[in-house]
Structure formats: structure tokens, C-alpha cells
């Protein structure tokens, strides 16, 4: 793996650990909830609160650590919904062809014509905003990208010798699609999933920044940025640190995604 890919793996691995171990790592675990102590409001970074406190006196470091839980939950759920749908429709369109291909591709065209964030906002506008709805809305906007990716890969693989040998041997469409084609599409799919995890986190933060995502008091990177912005520039620490939190996550996933791409790229050439 490349040096930057390795750095990405370290960042992502570290953040995952942070998210899992948040209750033990956070100096004030109770501050992740609806804790209030007005005397502590807006304390700048100091020895007790390394990243300072927010408007109701909660430790920002603690909330930041817990916010990664929200972000990773969002990324996991969105990918778990979008990838299987995208993979199945992409395989079906690319391998089976015919009217199914037309229907699937035209449907993805419609989805892809609207920017994902706008589409997710439109869906969220119809419901009460919540983290669950945000996850569903983002997934809804996301699957067509996987359909397209898997469709293109399938089209290039389906005439390979081993696919034709499997068909000649009598393998049915399901076995051929999931057993022969899909395993050879794992490089591009994994690469995209890793890159997308970063973008989904960014988009989730964007939605909650707009008040369309996680509701208070759930710790969330976007909500934290939103809460801090009106107080700039005097009370700079909530915005700066939560923004940095987003940047680090997105950067980590991007570096890792590029690393995975190189890894599989090198694999194919031999």
C-alpha cells in the first residue's frame, strides 16, 4: 500500500477506535447527552477541557469523540443500504440486459440528474428531520452511483472467458452474476465505498448543519459546527474543532480510498 494510503488507514482506523471507545476515552462521557452547566459555558481550551466547552458548558472533546459515533453510524447504514441495492441493480442491468437494463439505467439517470444533497434535502423536507430519516434519505440519493459503477464493470467482465466458461458449464444467471462477476468487481466497489464513507459523513454533517439531520442533544459534527458559527470569531473553538473533525474524517477516507484503488490496480496488472 502507498504511504498516503497507509496514512489514511491509520486515520480511519484511529477514528473507528475513537468512535467505539468514546465512552472510555471521553474525559466527560455524560457530556455527550443533555448535560447542562451554565457556569462552564464557552470556556476556551484549557487544561480541564482541552478543546474548550460549548454554550451549555459541555466538554467539546467529549462531544467530538461521541460525534464520530453518529458519523460512522450514518456512513455504515447508508453504505449498507445503498451498496446492495446498487450492486444488485447494476449486475442485473449489465448482465441480463434487455428491458430491465433500460428501466434500471433510466431510473438512475433521473436520480443522478439531481445533486445528491438537494435530493436528500427534498426527501427530508417531506418528513420530520431525524438521524434515521437522514440515513434513509442519503441512501436513497446514493444507490444509483453504485448501480452505474457495477453496471460498467459488469459490461466489461461479462464477455471474459471465465464467465463464458461458467455459462457453458450451465451456471445460472444468479451464480454467474454473484459468483463470477461480482468478486472481480470488488476493487472498484471497495474503493468507491471507502471514498464515499468520507462523502457521506460530509453530507450528513451538511444536513445536520441545516437542521435536517441528527437532533440535539445527539453529538453530531454538523450540528456542532452550526451551533458555533454565530459566535465566530470570538468563540472560535466549537466551530474550528468540529470542522477539523469533519476534515480529518473525510481526508482519512480519501487517502485510504486512493490507497485501495492503487492496491487493486497493481493487483490486476500482474
Partner 1 sequence: MAELLAVRDLGKRYGRVVALDGISLGIAEGESLAVVGQSGSGKTTLGRLVVGLERPTAGSIRYRDGELAHRSRTRAERKAIQLVPQDPLSTLNPSRTAGANVALPLVVHGLPRGRARLVELFDKVDLAERFVDRFPSELSGGQRQRVAIARALATGPRLIVLDEPTSALDVLVQARVVRLLERLRQDLGIAYLFITHDLALVNSVANRVAVLYRGRLVELGPTDSVLRKPQHPYTRRLLSNVAVVDEAEERLKPARPDDEAVDQEFA
Looking at 114, 115, 160, 173, which residue binds partner 1 (CB under 8 A)? 160
| Alpha-carbon Rg for the chain in angstroms | 22
Q: Binding of partner 1 at residue 173 (CB under 8 A)?
A: no
Minimum CB distance to partner 1 smaller for 179 or for 216: 179
Closest CA to 241 of 221, 214, 217: 221
Looking at 184, 188, 217, 262, which residue binds partner 1 (CB under 8 A)? 184
Q: Binding of partner 1 at residue 265 (CB under 8 A)?
A: no
Minimum CB distance to partner 1 smaller for 76 or for 186: 186
Contact 53, 38 (CB under 8 A): no
CB of 160: closest distance to partner 1 in angstroms?
4
Contact 197, 253 (CB under 8 A): yes
Looking at 14, 97, 125, 183, which residue binds partner 1 (CB under 8 A)? 183
Looking at 169, 230, 233, 234, which residue binds partner 1 (CB under 8 A)? 169
Q: Binding of partner 1 at residue 48 (CB under 8 A)?
A: no
If residue 263 lies in a helix (H) or strand (E), which one and from where to where? helix 237-269
Q: How many residues bind partner 1 (CB under 8 A)?
A: 20
CB of 167: closest distance to partner 1 in angstroms?
6
Give the three cell numbers for residue 107: 431510473
Q: Binding of partner 1 at residue 233 (CB under 8 A)?
A: no
Q: Binding of partner 1 at residue 170 (CB under 8 A)?
A: yes
> What secondary structure does DSSP assign to 42-96, as a single string?
TPPS-SSSTT-B-TTS-BHHHHHHHHHHHHHHHHHHHHHHHHHHHHHHHHIIIII
Q: Binding of partner 1 at residue 105 (CB under 8 A)?
A: no
Contact 69, 17 (CB under 8 A): no
Dist CA 97 CA 180 (whole Å): 17
Residues making contact with partner 1 (CB under 8 A): 160-162, 164-171, 175, 179-180, 183-184, 186, 267-268, 270
Amino acid at each position: 500500500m502507498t504511504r498516503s494510503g497507509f496514512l489514511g488507514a491509520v486515520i480511519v482506523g484511529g477514528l473507528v477506535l475513537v468512535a467505539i471507545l468514546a465512552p472510555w476515552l471521553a474525559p466527560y462521557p455524560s457530556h455527550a447527552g443533555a448535560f447542562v452547566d451554565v457556569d462552564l459555558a464557552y470556556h476556551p481550551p484549557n487544561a480541564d477541557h482541552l478543546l474548550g466547552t460549548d454554550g451549555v458548558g459541555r466538554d467539546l472533546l467529549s462531544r467530538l469523540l461521541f460525534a464520530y459515533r453518529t458519523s460512522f453510524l450514518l456512513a455504515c447504514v447508508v453504505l449498507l443500504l445503498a451498496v446492495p441495492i446498487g450492486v444488485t441493480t447494476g449486475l442485473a442491468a449489465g448482465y441480463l440486459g434487455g428491458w430491465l437494463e433500460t428501466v434500471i439505467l433510466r431510473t438512475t439517470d433521473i436520480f443522478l440528474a439531481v445533486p445528491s444533497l438537494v435530493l436528500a434535502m427534498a426527501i427530508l423536507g417531506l418528513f420530520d428531520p431525524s438521524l434515521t430519516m437522514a440515513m434513509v434519505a442519503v441512501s436513497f440519493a446514493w444507490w444509483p452511483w453504485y448501480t452505474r459503477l457495477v453496471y460498467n464493470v459488469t459490461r466489461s467482465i461479462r464477455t471474459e472467458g471465465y464467465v463464458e466458461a461458467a455459462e457453458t458449464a450451465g451456471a445460472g444467471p444468479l451464480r454467474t452474476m454473484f459468483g463470477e462477476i461480482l468478486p472481480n468487481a470488488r476493487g472498484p466497489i471497495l474503493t468507491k465505498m471507502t471514498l464515499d464513507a468520507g462523502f457521506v459523513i460530509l453530507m450528513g454533517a451538511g444536513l445536520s448543519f441545516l437542521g435536517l439531520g441528527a437532533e440535539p442533544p445527539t453529538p453530531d459534527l454538523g450540528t456542532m459546527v452550526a451551533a458555533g458559527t454565530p459566535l465566530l470569531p470570538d468563540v472560535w473553538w466549537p466551530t474550528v474543532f468540529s470542522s477539523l473533525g469533519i476534515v480529518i474524517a473525510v481526508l482519512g477516507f480519501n487517502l485510504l480510498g486512493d490507497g485501495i484503488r492503487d492496491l487493486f490496480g497493481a493487483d490486476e496488472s500482474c
